[in-house]
Amino acid sequence: MKVVALVGCPNVGKSTFFNRLTKTRDALVADFPGLTRDRKYGRALYDGREYIVIDTGGIAEDAEQPSDLTSRMTSQALLAIDECDLVIFMVDARAGIMPGDYSVADYIRRSGKPCAIVANKVDGMDPDIAGTDFYALGLGEVYQTAVVHGRGVNTILDEVIAPILRQEGPLDSDIAAAKLEAEAQAEADLNIDIDVSGKLYEPRSADASSADAAEPAEDSDAVDADEAAEAADFDADETELNSDDAVDAALLAAADEAWEQSSIFNYDDADSDSAEQSEPAKRRHGKHDPDSKWEHGFEFLDNVPVDYSAGGFDWHAFRENQRAAQKGELTPEQQKKIEESTKTPFADLPIKFALIGKPNVGKSTLTNRLLGEERVVVADMPGTTRDSIYIPLEREGRKYIVIDTAGVRKRRKVTEAIEKFSIVKTLKAIEDCNVALLVIDAREHITDQDLSLLGFIIDSGRSLVIAVNKWDGLTPEFKDEIKQELELRLGFVDFARVHFISALHGTGVGNLFDSINEAYESATRRNSSSLLNRILSAAVQEHEPPMSGGRRIKLKYAHAGGYNPPRVVIHGNKVSKMPDSYKRYLINCYRKSLKIMGTPVIIEFKEGENPYANEKPAQKRLTQSKMRAQKRQAETERRYERAAQKAARSQNKAIAEAKRTGSGFVLKKRVKVSKNKK
């Protein structure tokens, strides 16, 4: 696979061009010099051929950053030049030749790598004079582009990158053009005509036809032996083919012969996915056909291909092998392979683990220690890493992808827009990874920001490994204090392994891989529903669910609801009233029984609706508590009614007494007195 490196001075558009070629937004882009510091790799596809693009930091002195950091960035860019097959030297057409351009051009010239100069930012400039100054660098042709608008990108792909890719074989467009040319040549060479009897004869010109009509036919003995054999073969097949079939068969045979004789397809196609195809079919499709597995099975996600077939785990084949195992039709080797694939169905995919933490806790130093090389820029200043860097790693036959992320500070301390984008990329890396490696600075104790990052990791459902860095040089009393603080503040993540390491000296770093493998295997292990039900039954027998509303909560059955993280779905009655304490009890039971370590376990409760609820009488749908409440309400109403009746009787009695005596009581209705009475 070919490698293309983008180098140049700061702020010339390398990251923008990187995003254009990879058709992603992985590289951070801003009108800010020195934004990119580490080498960033990305996959690109052009005309059916895949290649790798490297984005590098600017090669120039910067007074705003330490000289040590500038030298490390320059060394990263020079390493990219050494390992690439094509160097694209990007320059700023508006700024002209910078002092650092001569040194970069000299290094490229001494490396002997093919190079192309790309004069970027030519929009708004005279195309006749834009970028002409860069011919003085002596590196060949200068290509004018405006990458931010996409101008000139196709020219670079066709004239610069395509010739490098053709060194591995023809592109899809070359194969299609050769196919059309071969078909046209085959039709022109054959140009078969059919006479009335359905026999084939060679085309002849008008002069030849008239001459044949004037002269007598040649004797049959003069016919060439090969032509006689072909005529005999055709007569033998004439009874089975009509005239149209004969033409099609002859055209197809001639086309296959032309394909075999075509020189453009004479390359090794041992890597073809379809080994069952015939040789002409392989040549017709080519080594990198548009229907290849890479194009349809993968997509870009932070420069890491994602397989839509669940990590290569074929469920149909798994079920067929499982049925064959029940019938006893599998060999011991196949049975062992099935058991291994059942335990780790995603074993063929690399484990992605991200290093998460605050700024300046040693994430980049730990990345270099894990890789065994100076892969990322390390400096004794916070905020050195600004982007999430995906780096492949292979250790003891196991493949990994290390994700070095930027440090995350408190929100109130983040003021620059660049840092906000870096934090977004870090949070996205947490959601993308399989295992999150939380790095804590032992000399700063456990801070609230560490707990906030820990909460985000758990909410994302990622597996977790905790690494306490900078453990070297601490006194025994201070180490005991840190361990007590870990037990006190991180008691809610008792499922995660804790390692005390020193990334600078490498102490305890090798043990991290064991915990990462354990957490990943626990998160992706598949458990049967029968096993989950047995664990649920044992947990209920040991400690029954609590009562709710006078009735006990009933748990019926459980089944797996997902993986990475493990998810268990439990069905029952009144499970919505389940307290959190019993839910934690069930989580601990499943974690202990299934030996899950390093990953959270999620339990979901589901309660089905009663299909006969609307068919029952209203009085039977009432619970005992509701019936008692109705009785109390009715008794209260009767008491108020009796008290009102008693008050009415007393009032009537008093009114009657006042009427009889004529005084002593204020009547509700005043007695009308006649005007004649005095």
Query: pLDDT by residue (tens digit) across 640-655?
Result: 999 999 999 998 888 8
Sign of CA dihedral 104, 110, 111, 112: positive
Strand partners, 116: 88
3-state secondary structure (DSSP) of residue 447 = coil
Q: CB of 5 within 8 A of CB of 86?
A: yes
What is the per-residue pLDDT for 339?
64
Interval 64-82 mean pLDDT? 75
Distances (CA, A) of 354 to 386, 405, 463: 14, 7, 10
Q: φ and ψ at 85, to 5 degrees?
A: -105, -20
pLDDT-based confidence at residue 539 (cuts at 50, 70, 90):
very high
CA gap 108, 85 in Å, rounded: 12
As given in the structure block, the two tokens for residue 336 are: 């062992």
Q: Maximum CA pair distance of the chain?
A: 169
Distance, C-alpha 204 to centroid of its chain:
64
CA 544 to CA 553: how far, in whole Å?
9
**Rounded CA separation 506/490 (Å):** 25
* Over residues 312-331, mean pLDDT: 63
Average pLDDT in the chain: 75
Q: How many other CB atoms are found less than 10 A from the CB of residue 641?
A: 10
* Calpha distance 419→407 (Å, rounded): 9
Sign of the dihedral defined by the CA atoms of residues 472, 473, 476, 481, in that order: negative
| β-strand partners of 573 | 554
Helical packing angle, 580-594 and 529-542, nearest 10°: 130
What would the pLDDT profile of 84-127 be if each residue is shown by its tens digit? Answer: 889 999 888 888 888 778 888 888 888 888 888 899 888 888 87
User: DSSP code of 491?
Assistant: G
Phi, psi of 265 (to 5 degrees): -100, 10
Q: What are the contacts of 181-189 at 24+ separation with CB within 8 A?
A: 182/255, 182/258, 182/259, 182/262, 183/255, 183/258, 185/258, 186/251, 186/254, 186/255, 186/257, 186/258, 187/251, 189/254, 189/258
Q: Which residue has the tokens 């600017």?
A: 58
Bigger pLDDT: 311 or 650? 650
**177 is written with which tokens?**
């053009």
Is 129 within 8 Å of 37 (Cβ atoms)?
no
**pLDDT-based confidence at residue 347 (cuts at 50, 70, 90):** low
pLDDT value at residue 192: 53
Helix axes of 332-343 and 315-327: crossing angle, nearest 10 degrees: 130
What is the per-residue pLDDT for 272?
37
Neighbours of 575 (CB within 10 A): 20
Render pLDDT for 586-603 as a digit per residue (tens, 0 to 9).
999 999 999 999 898 999
- What is residue 36's predicted lDDT score, i.e. its pLDDT? 75
- 360-417 pLDDT, tens digit per residue, is 888 888 988 888 888 887 766 666 777 788 888 888 888 898 998 888 888 777 767 7
Q: Rounded CA gap, 297 and 310, in Å?
A: 10
Per DSSP, the three-state class of 254 is helix
Q: What is the pLDDT of residues 468-503, one digit of tens each?
A: 998 888 888 998 999 999 888 888 888 899 999 998
Q: Respond yes or no on whether the N-terminal peptide bond of residue 565 is cis (omega within 30° of 0).
A: yes
Contacts of 66 (CB under 8 A, 6+ apart): 379, 381
